[in-house]
Every structure is written in structure tokens, then in C-alpha cells.
């Protein structure tokens, strides 16, 4: 394709991403379409888009319900499926008075832990649990939804049970295997997470996915489900595993936080926080660096006693249990030649600690021990 004028319809836009093997698409007035390829955003050689062209495309993508939400709030999330079966998660939003779009390609195949380069043993243990709370943390675009999909698919393939998902929007489509899977999309199948969660007990699930904990009501329902002999997967917007606890507590008034601590301490199965970093392998664009927090007796006590500020030290020192922090995992990725040292140093919050960890010197929060 060249910079000549072209018709921008859904088929052309998403077909472009498939053709160029892009993970993401960005549209902004005054720019040509932008694609994220191998982790880097790149302009295309197509014509610059006007505001009306983008608005026309966005209208073609939205149904009446989504259009109404966009007009009321200035943004909307939804899924778009092509005739080929390829799916994209789309976010439309306003900026400086104009409409912009970001779309992420969702693979039709749900990848395995090994394909995602995730800690297989830790995640398998979480999937084997029959009750409790599994939390994936990270900012937007760090692969949380894909990692959870891998967990649910592992359960789907190995356990006779009922898996129920509540998502906004639905991203990965599951086919019944050993388990049977029901997927509820917020806005289409239920008006809100609150309403979907109110019906949870009557739907008799064994494994539950709640797309994201955003507020007190959702958090309360997630904790209640974890107490009620269900295995619950969810995501929390946080930049570290230890910060997840504080983020959830902040959703509650101070008089309720003691009870929240008790529930988290009793029912936490795993907190995994992940970021994606550029890979040194040309066949693997990005790999995850993770933090792992497990409910050891010491971790449970710290959560109960309000000592979560000490969790980073504990994660770094209790490697025998399988815990680690970002710096330790980045050092592993460098030693195994998955990540270039320069990339790791740019990603780590503690460059000096990383330098010693790569050399195999035991460290504690940036200080040699």
C-alpha cells in the first residue's frame, strides 16, 4: 500500500493489522494509521486521516448501546470480530475534542504458559486450587487478559467444572472441553459487574473470572466469591505485586479494612504482576517479567497486621517458596539471554540491584547482603 487515498472501513483497518502482523492499531486525526509491530509503534505509509474519516469508521464499529456509552462518557471499550474470526479489543476515546482509536489484536488461539514464557509451575499450582483468589496485576497492555485466558484454558482442558467469566468486553472465546464455559459480557449479557456478580451464586460456577476490580462493590463481591468455595481470577491495576494489597484496601472505608485484610490473608492464592519487555529473540517480540507473591505464613501475617510495606523484602528473600521481584526476574531473563541487559536496565526500578543480581550476588532491596 502507498500514501494514496484509500477507503478506511473496518475490513481494511483490521486487515492491515493482520497483513503486517501488528499487535495494536492507533488512529489519530492528522496522522496516518499507526501500528505496533514487535513492541514499537510505527507510522504506516498510508494517507493522513482526517477527523471525519475516523469518526465515520468509529460509527461503523459501534452498535447503539456502545455509541450511547461513548457519547455519555467520552470513551468506550468493545470487541470487534471479523468475518475471518479474528478478534480485536477496541477502545475509542476523545482527546482535544477529536475521536481517537486504539485496537489490540486478540489471538484466536489461547496460548499456553510455555508459549507466553510465564512461570509454569506457579500458575499450574494456582489452577489446581479449588478455592481462593488469583490476582493478575499490571498496567494496561501488559498481557494480563492473555495470561488469565491461559489459566482458564488449562482448567478447561483438565477439570470437569463450570467456568463463568464476566468481561467488559469478552476477549478470548472458549470452547467447552473437560469443563463447560459460560461467558457474560457486561453491557450485553448483564448491565454491570455488580448485577452479574449478584447472580453468581445462582449460576453455580466452580471457577470465576471477573475482568477487573475497579471499585468497592466489585471488590467486595470478588472477596465474597473467594470465601464461598470458588476459585476467582481477576485483575487489579497496580504496578507491583505488593501494591495490589494496598490498592484493594483503598477501595474500602477505614472501618472495613480489618475484615478485608482477614479475607485476603485467608483466601489469597497468588498475586502475579507482569510487564512486557522487548525480547532479544527475533521470533519472540516481547516476554513478561514478573513479580510473584504467594500466601506463605509470613505473607499472611503481614497482610493481617498491616505490614504490606515489608512484602517487597520478603518476596526478594523467600525464593525457596517460588516468590521473586521484578529485578530478580529481569536478571534471570538476562542470564538466559531472553533480554538484552540494556533493555533490562531500562525496565528495572533498581539498576544497581539488577547489576548485582545478574552477577549472582544476593541482594535485598538494592543492598548487598
Question: Can you tell me the mean pLDDT for 302-326?
Answer: 92
- Which residue matches cell numbers 468486553? 169
Query: In the chain, where does the domain assigned CATH 3.40.50.300 lie?
Result: 113-324
Work out the percent of the chain whose per-residue pLDDT is above 70: 96
Kindly report which listed range (109-113, 258-262, 355-359) carries the lowest average pLDDT score.
Answer: 355-359
SS3 159: coil
Given pLDDT bands bounded at 50, 70 and 90, which one contains residue 366?
very low
How many angstroms from the chain centroid is the CA of residue 195?
23
- Reference 42, options 21, 61, 57; nearest CA is 21
Given pLDDT bands bounded at 50, 70 and 90, which one contains residue 287?
very high
Axis crossing angle, helix 257-267 with helix 241-249, rounded to the nearest 10: 140
- Which residue matches cell numbers 510487564? 275
> What pLDDT is stored for residue 60 in this prediction?
92
Query: In the chain, where does the domain assigned CATH 3.30.450.90 lie?
Result: 10-106
> Which one has a higher pLDDT value, 369 or 360?
360
> What pLDDT is stored for residue 369 in this prediction?
34
To the question of domain 10-106 being in CATH 3.30.450.90, the answer is: yes
pLDDT higher than 70, residue 213: yes
Kindly report which listed range (134-143, 154-163, 353-362) carries the lowest average pLDDT score.
Answer: 353-362
Identify whether the C-beta of residue 172 lies closer than 8 Å to the C-beta of residue 110.
Answer: yes
> What pLDDT is stored for residue 367 in this prediction?
45
DSSP structure class, residue 48: P
Q: For the segment 324-338, what is each residue's pLDDT rounded down to a tens digit?
A: 999 999 999 999 999
SS3 356: helix
User: What is the grid cell recorded at 238?
Assistant: 497496580
In a 13 Å sphere around the CA of 206, the CA atoms on its Cβ side amount to 15
To the question of domain 113-324 being in CATH 1.10.10.10, the answer is: no
Average pLDDT of every residue of the chain: 92
Strand partners, 89: 79, 104
pLDDT higher than 70, residue 217: yes
Cα separation, 338 vs 257, in Å, equals 41
> What pLDDT is stored for residue 362 in this prediction?
54
- Which residue matches cell numbers 543480581? 357
> What pLDDT is stored for residue 39 in this prediction?
82
Cα separation, 246 vs 233, in Å, equals 18
Amino acid at each position: 500500500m502507498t500514501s494514496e487515498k484509500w477507503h478506511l472501513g473496518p475490513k481494511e483497518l483490521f486487515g492491515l493489522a493482520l497483513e503486517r502482523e501488528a499487535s495494536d492499531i492507533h488512529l489519530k486525526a492528522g496522522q496516518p494509521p499507526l501500528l505496533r509491530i514487535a513492541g514499537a509503534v510505527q507510522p504506516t505509509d498510508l494517507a493522513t486521516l482526517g477527523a471525519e474519516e475516523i469518526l465515520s469508521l468509529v460509527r461503523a464499529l459501534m452498535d447503539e448501546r456502545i455509541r450511547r456509552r461513548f457519547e455519555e462518557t467520552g470513551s468506550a471499550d468493545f470487541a470487534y470480530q471479523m468475518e475471518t474470526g479474528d478478534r480485536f479489543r477496541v477502545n475509542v476515546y476523545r482527546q482535544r475534542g477529536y475521536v481517537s482509536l486504539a485496537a489490540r489484536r486478540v489471538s484466536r488461539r489461547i496460548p499456553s504458559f510455555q508459549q507466553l514464557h510465564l512461570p509454569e509451575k506457579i500458575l499450574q499450582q494456582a489452577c489446581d486450587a479449588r478455592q481462593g483468589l488469583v490476582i493478575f496485576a499490571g498496567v494496561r497492555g501488559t498481557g494480563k487478559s492473555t495470561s488469565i485466558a491461559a489459566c482458564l484454558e488449562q482448567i478447561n482442558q483438565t477439570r470437569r467444572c463450570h467456568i463463568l467469566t464476566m468481561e467488559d468486553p469478552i476477549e478470548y472465546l472458549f470452547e467447552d472441553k473437560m469443563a463447560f464455559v459460560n461467558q457474560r459480557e457486561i453491557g450485553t449479557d448483564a448491565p454491570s459487574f455488580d448485577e452479574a456478580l449478584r447472580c453468581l451464586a445462582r449460576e453455580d460456577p466452580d471457577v470465576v473470572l471477573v475482568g477487573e476490580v475497579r471499585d468497592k462493590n466489585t471488590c467486595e463481591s470478588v472477596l465474597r466469591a473467594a470465601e464461598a468455595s470458588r476459585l476467582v481470577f481477576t485483575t487489579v491495576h497496580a504496578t507491583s505485586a505488593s501494591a495490589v494489597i494496598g490498592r484493594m484496601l483503598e477501595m474500602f472505608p477505614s472501618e472495613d479494612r480489618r475484615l478485608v485484610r482477614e479475607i485476603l490473608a485467608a483466601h489469597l492464592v497468588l498475586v502475579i504482576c507482569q510487564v512486557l519487555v522487548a525480547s532479544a529473540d527475533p521470533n519472540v517480540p516481547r516476554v513478561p517479567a514478573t513479580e510473584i507473591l504467594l500466601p506463605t505464613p509470613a505473607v499472611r501475617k503481614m497482610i493481617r497486621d498491616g505490614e504490606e510495606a515489608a512484602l517487597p523484602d520478603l518476596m526478594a528473600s523467600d525464593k525457596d517458596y517460588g516468590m521473586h521481584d521484578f529485578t530478580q526476574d529481569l536478571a534471570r531473563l538476562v542470564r538466559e539471554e531472553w533480554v538484552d541487559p540494556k533493555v533490562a536496565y531500562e525496565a528495572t526500578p533498581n539498576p544497581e540491584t539488577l547489576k548485582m543480581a545478574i552477577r549472582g550476588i544476593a541482594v535485598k532491596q538494592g543492598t548487598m547482603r
